[in-house]
Amino acid sequence: MNRVRTRIAPSPTGDPHVGTAYIALFNYAFAKQHGGDFILRIEDTDRVRSSRESEEMIFSALRWLGLNWDEGPDIGGPKGPYRQSERSDIYKKYAMELVEKGKAYPCFCTKERLDSVREAMKAEKKTAMYDRHCRSIPKDEALKRMESGEPYVIRLAMPTEGSMVVKDMLRGDITIDCEQLDDQVLIKTDGFPTYHLANVVDDHLMEISHVIRAEEWISSLPKHVYLYEAFGWEAPVFCHMPLLRNADKSKISKRKNPVSLNYYRRAGYLPEAILNYLALMGFAMPDEREEFTLAEFTKELKLEKVSLGGPVFDMAKLLWLNGKYIRALDKKELADRLYKELLSPEYLDKILTLTQPRFEKLEDFIDYSAFFFTGSMHYSEKMQKKLIGKGKSAKETAKALTQLVEDELDPLLKWDAAHLEEASTRHLAKIGWTAKEFFMPLRVAVTGKDATPPLFETMEVLGKEVCRSRIKEAAKLLKEMPA
Ligand code: GLU
């Protein structure tokens, strides 16, 4: 076997996701088990949604968990650069190689034409696909049109007849009817590659031996396998891991569970408990014990035995496991953890900046700052009343708060007072509430108090995850209040 090289290839388009940690863990353990390399590659081909803030959060969350990579954008390595936006020329070159070989072709169809083809197919109840209109343009003519500056995309010329067999480590052979396969775009009009091209080219050039990734990518497998074939490259081994699920078996989502690793860090979970729990999602120890270290997991993992049943991400079980880990720490280690996470000098400094102006005695620290240290809120009866906007119903307030989270806060990547104020002001204009009506419920929702340091500064220090989960909790409480 070639040297084992695995990778985690996140797209930096939001908060660091618990699913990324789950996939990274299995890649890490498999690589280390074989004395191989674990690589971090940033897939930022979506120029609009990708951001450096998100990338930084991914680095820091994976580091916190202890899933350290051997090569990556921040530390470099022999196969870099490891950020796709820095590799554009490579993708263009390889796409042109396929055009030369007749395995790909430029497509000059306008958006209007593509829309009308799609509509017509839908009307005939067929799966909407490209009708391969440009595939028959002779190569010389196509190349001339490309040179003349006419806008184009490059598409992969997929086989149109017969069937294709692709292999997955956990599922064996999967046969696909070629008629279902679309001529996938490889290079977009803006010259940037699509995920499919960049992913395959990079996995090849970075000598990835095993692609271990989430099940949601299995539908892309035929395209990827065919790309390897078209280039004449040996494909890696593919292993699609079952997706983490909510309790109702739907794909894990932030509507039902906190999914950001930042949340778990802020809410006082230990990285080793999270790794242990994520390992259990796809793996059982030979002796079925549920507590084990990363080193033990790395030793015992049998990737081919990962079970395909949708693993349910059960917060109660994670909490139970986390409690066991915390209680097992010796006291000195526990104190160290507290100093590192909850009581770090940086965090204390931010809190004191906000609360010190109200101090009369040292002990005031406890009362004024308590809400900075807890995860979820317990609203007193008095505060529950204040959660309701003045002159509004509980249900209306619940809706206004939920909308704030979903429309304004979730998309925010820069979590600071100025951006929070901007987002909230936009929200007020949209829902037609006054600042007075809205900010008291919001203040109570995020702090459990009606008198606090300035709201947006407070929210900045609390962080996105704690705020969003408290606001959602408050909205739930409001929704359940009798009218
Ligand atoms: N960029 C993809 C993601 O965000 C990577 C999928 C893969 O591992 O091939 O999940």
Average pLDDT of the residues in 379-389: 95
DSSP string, 348-409: HHHHHHHHGGG-SSTTHHHHHHGGGT-SS----HHHHHHTSPTTS-HHHHHHHHHHIIIIII
Does 309 lie in the same domain as 293?
yes
Does 204 lie in the same domain as 95?
yes
DSSP, collapsed to helix, strand or coil, labels residue 412 as coil
The verdict on residue 348 lying in a domain is: no
Does 393 lie in the same domain as 269?
no
Better-predicted residue by pLDDT, 29 or 190: 29
Between the CA of 446 and the centroid of ligand 1 the distance, in Å, is 34
CATH number, domain with residue 447: 1.10.10.350
Does 410 lie in the same domain as 270?
no
Q: How confident is the model at residue 128 (pLDDT cuts 50, 70, 90)?
A: confident
Beta bridge partners, 187, equal 154, 193
pTM: 0.90
Distances (CA, A) of 252 to 311, 320, 384: 10, 20, 30
Chain-centre distance for alpha carbon 294: 22
- Report which protein residue has its CA nearest ligand 1's atom 10: 10
CATH number, domain with residue 124: 3.90.800.10
The verdict on residue 247 lying in a domain is: yes
Ligand 1 atom at shortest distance from the alpha carbon of 199? 9
- 254, 449, 464, 472: the active-site residue: 254
Q: Taking a C-beta distance cutoff of 8 angstroms, is the pair 270, 337 a contact?
A: yes
> Is the C-beta atom of 73 inside 6 A of ligand 1?
no
Task: Tell me the CB-side half-sphere exposure of residue 101, using CA atoms within 13 A.
Answer: 16
pLDDT of 254 > 80? The answer is no
**Domain finish residue from 288, 309, 324:** 324
Does 102 lie in the same domain as 66?
no
Residue 476's domain spans which residues?
369-480
Does 29 lie in the same domain as 108?
no
Does 218 lie in the same domain as 258?
no
Q: Taking a C-beta distance cutoff of 8 angstroms, is the pair 9, 62 a contact?
A: no
> Is the C-beta atom of 11 inside 6 A of ligand 1?
yes
Q: For residue 103, how many other CB atoms are within 10 A of its CB?
A: 18
Does 152 lie in the same domain as 251?
no
Does 49 lie in the same domain as 171?
no
pLDDT digits (tens, 9 = 90+) for 45-83: 998 899 999 999 999 999 999 999 999 999 999 999 999
Q: Could you tell me which of 261, 263, 277 has the C-alpha nearest to residue 320?
A: 277
Q: For residue 25, how many other CB atoms are within 10 A of its CB?
A: 29
Q: How confident is the model at residue 90 (pLDDT cuts 50, 70, 90)?
A: very high
> Is the C-beta atom of 19 inside 6 A of ligand 1?
no
pLDDT reported for residue 352: 97
Question: What's the structural domain count of the chain?
Answer: 3
Does 471 lie in the same domain as 391?
yes
CATH number, domain with residue 41: 3.40.50.620
Ligand 1: residue of 195, 197, 220, 221 to mutate (most ligand atoms within 8 A of CB) is 195
Ligand 1 atom at shortest distance from the alpha carbon of 9? 5
Q: How confident is the model at residue 15 (pLDDT cuts 50, 70, 90)?
A: confident
Interacting residues of 397 by C-beta distance below 8 A, sequence separation 6+: 387, 388, 389, 441, 475, 478
Q: How confident is the model at residue 126 (pLDDT cuts 50, 70, 90)?
A: confident
Q: What's the CA gap between 196 and 155, in Å, rounded?
A: 11
Between the CA of 264 and the centroid of ligand 1 the distance, in Å, is 22
> Is the C-beta atom of 217 inside 6 A of ligand 1?
yes
Does 255 lie in the same domain as 231?
no
The verdict on residue 332 lying in a domain is: no
The verdict on residue 359 lying in a domain is: no
Average pLDDT of the residues in 282-292: 94
pLDDT of 255 > 80? The answer is no
pLDDT reported for residue 1: 66
> Is the C-beta atom of 199 inside 6 A of ligand 1?
yes
Does 457 lie in the same domain as 393?
yes
Q: Is 254 a catalytic residue?
A: yes
**Domain finish residue from 324, 352, 377:** 324
> Is the C-beta atom of 43 inside 6 A of ligand 1?
yes
Q: In percent, how much of the chain has pLDDT > 90? A: 87
Q: Report the length, in residues, of the chain.
A: 483
- Report which protein residue has its CA nearest ligand 1's atom 3: 10
Between the CA of 171 and the centroid of ligand 1 the distance, in Å, is 19
pLDDT reported for residue 6: 98
**Domain finish residue from 235, 252, 287:** 235
Mean residue pLDDT of the chain comes to: 94
